[in-house]
Amino acid sequence: MHKTRVRVVEDALDANNTIARANRADFDAAGLRVVNLMSAPGAGKTTLLERLLAHGLGGMRVGVLEGDVRGSFDADRLSALHVPVTQLNTDPGFGGECHLDANMVRSAIPALPLDEIDLLVIENVGNLVCPAEFRVGEDARAMLSSVTEGEDKPLKYPLMFRACELVILNKIDLLPHLDFDVDRFLANLDQVHPGVERMLVSARTGEGLDRVGDWLAREPARV
Amino acid sequence: MHKTRVRVVEDALDANNTIARANRADFDAAGLRVVNLMSAPGAGKTTLLERLLAHGLGGMRVGVLEGDVRGSFDADRLSALHVPVTQLNTDPGFGGECHLDANMVRSAIPALPLDEIDLLVIENVGNLVCPAEFRVGEDARAMLSSVTEGEDKPLKYPLMFRACELVILNKIDLLPHLDFDVDRFLANLDQVHPGVERMLVSARTGEGLDRVGDWLAREPARV
């Protein structure tokens, strides 16, 4: 039974990848860099984007695709910064999915102002498991881990930490008040994804965000 | 297509509920209270259990079923407290599932010392979406939300906050260092699950844990 289930999962991922390639072709045709931003709930994806967008990204025109199970709370926060934000809810149409997949992103493409932006940030549903399994047509993937979540997360959710080109360790302003050991976290990270690019930041104070902004605005490195 | 997909999801949930009832019958026959403990990754489920088990639960004999995608890091932490811990990984056999379901729990029952414990705590996979959809045969469900995750979480993950009999707000020792507004969180909680039992705790300092221990040890309230 397990073998059948594994095959069904593999077929679903194959189908997803086919649609992801179609999305990617559309994004490429529009000359767009696309970043898939992932994390656990509450790790600070939206706050990070708020800070970066308020600061500007070297003149780049940025759009955001907001993935949520329900509601548009994050989209409302980001719209206040006068960037185009498109909401994608996984609840009504898709049955309460815990991640975005390529087909959901495809359904949102007609609503995206592809010709008016240079960078599209896709803020995925807060979850450290399934978002890592579904490519959506992005050029690169970044994930946030917050110091309040503990040093063990790379070992417990290895696929997520392996499936990205950048790991952002957020909320470092709280380090003085926690037992979090940064070196142990980085050693755990290197155990599952040796040498992956990593940045220590505080979206709240702004520390380290310049480097994240540079990375986001980087020329598409086709992965 | 969506209608078909919704029906497939409903059928899967029906099948899950049938198995959950079988689990529940087995747990009942053994005179066991079973609590399903859920949260986002890093909200503090294991630390909470460590503190409670080290303190003892009024003489109750406790066992833990540890749900993780991979590894046995939490099980190892809890085993150090000399309670029976059974590990359930969703990765190798189940294809990297982001939640426990009734069938996975059923497969673990033969490994559980049902006759030697009074309370079984099932520590679910860290995720605020899918665990809420799958009953596993529990008497009651509790979820942890950490103050570092933000006040908006009940509104963004309403099913999770609705699908439990107790909401534990953890890490309140960090409140002086955050912009978190407890009243706003509780108002958001009441919006999705009016009047649900709630407890403010710090698993790190031990504040408020007595009440959680009392709740866990409570006579089975058949839900």
Its ipTM equals 0.91
For the residues A52-76, what does the mean pLDDT come to?
92
Q: Given a cut of 90, is residue A41 above it in pLDDT? A: yes
Q: Does B7 touch chain A (CB under 8 A)?
A: no
Q: Please, which pLDDT band fits residue A219 given cuts at 50, 70 and 90? A: low
Task: For chains A and B, count residue pairs whose Cβ atoms are closer than 8 Å.
Answer: 113
The closest alpha carbon to A114, from A1, A194, A200, A24, belongs to A24
Asked if the Cβ–Cβ distance from A156 to B96 is below 8 Å, we say no
The residue with tokens 């959710």 is A157
Mean pLDDT of A188-207: 97
Please state which of the ranges A89-103, A160-174, A199-213, B35-49 shows the lowest mean pLDDT: A89-103
Check CB contact of A15 with chain B, cutoff 8 Å. Answer: no
Measured CA to CA, the distance from residue A11 to residue B131 in angstroms comes to 24
Considering only CA atoms, which of B110, B109, B114, B88 is closest in space to residue B100?
B88
The values of phi and psi at residue B147, to 5°, are -60, -20
Full strand arrangement of the beta sheet holding A33-39: A85-89, A62-68, A119-123, A33-39, A140-146, A166-170, A197-200
d(CA A6, CA A78): 39
| Chain A contact for B13 (CB, 8 A cutoff) | no
**Token pair belonging to B27:** 């747990």
Distance of residue A59 Cα from the nearest chain B Cα, in angstroms: 30
Residue B1 has pLDDT above 70, yes or no: no
Using the Cβ of B15 and the Cβ atoms of chain A, whether some distance falls under 8 Å is answered with no
**Mutation site, A98, A107, A145, A170, interface B, largest B CB count within 10 A:** A98
Q: Is B56 on the interface with A (CB under 8 A)?
A: no
B221 pLDDT more than 50: no
Cβ atoms of A19 and A136 closer than 8 Å: no
pLDDT band at B178 (very low <50, low <70, confident <90, very high): very high
> Rg of chain A over CA atoms, in angstroms?
17
Q: Which positions in chain A touch B158 (Cβ < 8 Å)?
A: 70
A158 shares contact with chain B (CB less than 8 Å):
yes
Q: Which residue has the tokens 């030697």?
A: B116
Q: What percent of chain A has pLDDT over 90?
A: 83
Say if CB B116 and CB B61 are below 8 A apart. yes
The confidence score (pLDDT) of residue B137 equals 97
Contact residues on chain A for B73, CB-CB shorter than 8 A: 152, 155-156
Compute how many other C-beta atoms are within 10 angstroms of the C-beta atom of residue A195: 7
Answer yes or no: is pLDDT of A222 > 80: no
- What percentage of chain B reaches a pLDDT higher than 70? 93
Query: Rounded distance, CA B141 to CA A73, Å?
Result: 27
Portion of chain B with pLDDT greater than 90, in percent: 83
Classify B31 in phi/psi space as left (phi over 0), alpha (psi -120 to 50) or beta.
left
| Interatomic CA distance for residues A124 and A128, integer angstroms | 10
Average pLDDT of chain A, as a whole number = 92
Q: Is the per-residue pLDDT at B223 higher than 70?
A: no
Asked whether the CA dihedral A18, B6, B11, B93 is positive or negative, the reply is positive
Residue B82 pLDDT more than 70? yes
Which residues of chain B have a CB within 8 Å of the CB of A70?
156, 158
* pLDDT, tens only, A77-114: 999 998 999 999 998 666 688 999 999 999 999 999 99
Of A96, A98, A148, the CB nearest to B42: A148
B98 and chain A in contact, CB less than 8 A = yes
Q: A4 and chain B: CB distance < 8 Å anywhere? A: no
**Both tokens of residue A5?**
């289930």
Q: Which residues in chain B are closer than 8 Å to A152, comparing Cβ atoms?
A: 73
CB contact under 8 A, A149 and B42: yes
Does residue A11 belong to the interface with chain B, where contact is any CB pair within 8 Å?
A: no
Mind listing the pLDDT tens digit for each residue in B115-143? 999 999 999 999 999 999 999 999 999 99
Asked if B96 lies within 8 A of A69 by C-beta distance, the reply is no
Which pLDDT score, from 0 to 100, does residue B92 have?
66
Per-residue pLDDT band for B18 (boundaries 50, 70, 90) equals very high
CB contact under 8 A, A41 and B93: no
Which pLDDT score is estimated for B4? 67
Token readout for B61 is 């004999």
Q: Verify whether the Cβ–Cβ distance A156 to B71 is below 8 Å.
A: yes
SS3 content of chain B, % helix, strand, coil (to 5): 45, 20, 35
For the CA atoms of chain B, what is the radius of gyration?
A: 17
The confidence score (pLDDT) of residue A147 equals: 98
Q: Test A5 with B94 for CB contact under 8 angstroms.
A: yes
Average pLDDT, chain B: 92
CB < 8 Å from A in window 169-208 of B: 171, 173-174, 177-179, 204
Q: What is the pLDDT of residue B13?
A: 87
